[in-house]
Amino acid sequence: GSRWLSRQFGAGQVPPSGTMVRLATALATALRIGTLAQAQLGAEEAFGAFKTKFRRAYGSGEEARRFAAFSANFHVVQAENARGHAYTLGLNAFADMTPEEFASTHMGLLSGGREVRGRRLQAGVHAGGNRSLPARVDWRATGAVQAVRHQGHCGSCWAFSAIAALEGAWQIHTGENVSLSEQQLVDCAWPNFGCGSGRPEQAFRYFIDDPSFAFEPSAHPACTRASYHYRADNGKCAEAAGAAAIFRGGVVGIVRVVSGSTEALMDAVAQQPVSVTVDASTWALYAGGVFQCSAPEASLNHAVALVGYGEDDGAAYWLIRNSWGTGWGEAGYMRLLRTGDGLGNCGVTLEASYPLVDSSASPKPVRPPRKRAPATRFYGAPPCHDDEQQVPGLDPVMGASFTGSVCTPQSWPNCPPPPEGANWLPVPFGTQTPHKGCALACRDDSQCPLGAACESFNFCSYPRKSVPATRYYAAPPCHDDESVAPAVAPFGTWDRRRGEVCAMRITPTQRSCPAPPEGTGWIVRPVLDALSLASPPICMVICTRDVHCPAGARCEYEDSLRHRNSWSVHEGVCTYPAGNASEPTLAPVGGRRMAAGQALFLV
């Protein structure tokens, strides 16, 4: 399995310019063809070793796709390592993912500005320049940096970056090593969006008391990681059940580092670990050394923690703690080339901040929750008024997912205020009619109207009952105008799913999907068979959770590839359990069964 490592894959011979002869051209072409064939053989051997090392087992349909991604990464590693950089790339656990797939599941910086709600949150700007700086800083040596962690397939880098900076600040100022919960921020820290995206400064804000922020003025304790385990998924806020490591009032402000200043950032890092945002588009295969981004500009898409800086063989670097596990980089760390003022390598100097802590914080009584009031005119449960729209479950444009139903005012973007004394926060969502309106943002049920619940995507909705399918979208046996279809996710995944469903095809006489029963809230859309795009579309119920499906059905989707937007919502289709859905046999009653493994795509 090591023979491929010793092979040299050159870039081929460059044909001579000017008066090159045909013989030289033919020879150069033959050499290039031979090199490519040898490289392809090397990729196949490497893929076999990769599958063994990382215990990969693919379905027949996925094997080819994963090899294509791996082969592309294999050639990138070979070519870049041959250039003699001060760093090396390697075939790590991410080598069977495309760059787009990796970015959609392992980053998660919320795009947009750095605005932080509230007047008391920003405690100052760190400019530096008032002291001599040490030549080398490494906060790992003092115990201010916890072990490297893995964010998994969840866009929660912002939470890991903020927690690393907060853990470091607390250890430096108190001498206490605390391991804090990233999941608490994923579940509770609005206006971040959990595994969808977020920003470190908004995570710091969650722990700070700020009466000017009417929606949520109270500071929150920082829970221990042991009491609030990381799940790499969105969930309902369970802070009340966690054990506090830093009590309310322990975080008192946010300090921003002057943007674009290497000296100011070095001065801040010499004081404590710092949260930074970066362009990590080319980081996935980093294996070691002092890395340098090749792009002249930076598109910030990831958040990490700066835990030191230093110099290696004349190359100045930043020491970065990432959140992709210890199998990535140098045991989970990266040394990033430290350049002069301005953009900074990979944009590392553009957005940096750290929290201020107060070691005198002690347990404080929790403010009693306000009495929950029922919704009367707006934000109530269906049936809705004429100037409202029922949002039944999934909004495909916004990407928000509701377990229940709610009446959303159509006065977008000017949302009706809540009743006097209610701590509701109306926010506009969506950009296109009819998929826009106003909803109530929340952290937990106490911030919703009486009878409503706070969803894991931070909106209030009212529970609804599951209704069985009768004529359409039901389990086999099917009617004559339907087909039995094995289900896959509609956004470009390749694996077949475990279930099946009766699906009607769009035809010249049947130009739209049958409407779901009134009050069910099912989202019905046509999907295409990706292996036979000329075939008519098939009507199916789209979902993100089982509660969006008919009774007895479940929502199935490919977890490793998400529909990418600021909310990172999974979209799948509703299917029913089948004993052997992959066998291409005929449906028991009427219709036809699609070939196993066929993919479905939205029309």
* Catalytic center residues: 157, 302, 322
Query: What is the per-residue DSSP string for 152-214?
Result: -SS--HHHHHHHHHHHHHHHHHH-----B-HHHHHHH-TTS-TTS-B-HHHHHHHTS--TT-T
**DSSP assignment, residue 582?**
T
60-81 and 22-54 helices, crossing angle to 10°: 120
What are residue 132's phi and psi, to 5 degrees?
-80, 140
* β-pair type (333-337, 286-291): parallel
DSSP E strand stretches across 397-474: 406-409, 425-432, 435-441, 453-454, 460-461
HSE toward the beta carbon, residue 160, CA cutoff 13 A: 33
Q: Which residue has the tokens 């033919």?
A: 26
Greatest pairwise CA separation for the chain in angstroms: 89
Amino acid at site 20: M
85 class by beta-carbon count within 10 Å (0-12 exposed, 13-18 middle, 19+ buried): middle
3-class secondary-structure state, position 46: helix
Are 576 and 543 spatial neighbours (Cβ–Cβ below 8 Å)?
Answer: no
Query: Smallest Cα–Cα separation from 277: which of 347, 375, 354?
Result: 347
526 class by beta-carbon count within 10 Å (0-12 exposed, 13-18 middle, 19+ buried): buried
3-class secondary-structure state, position 302: strand
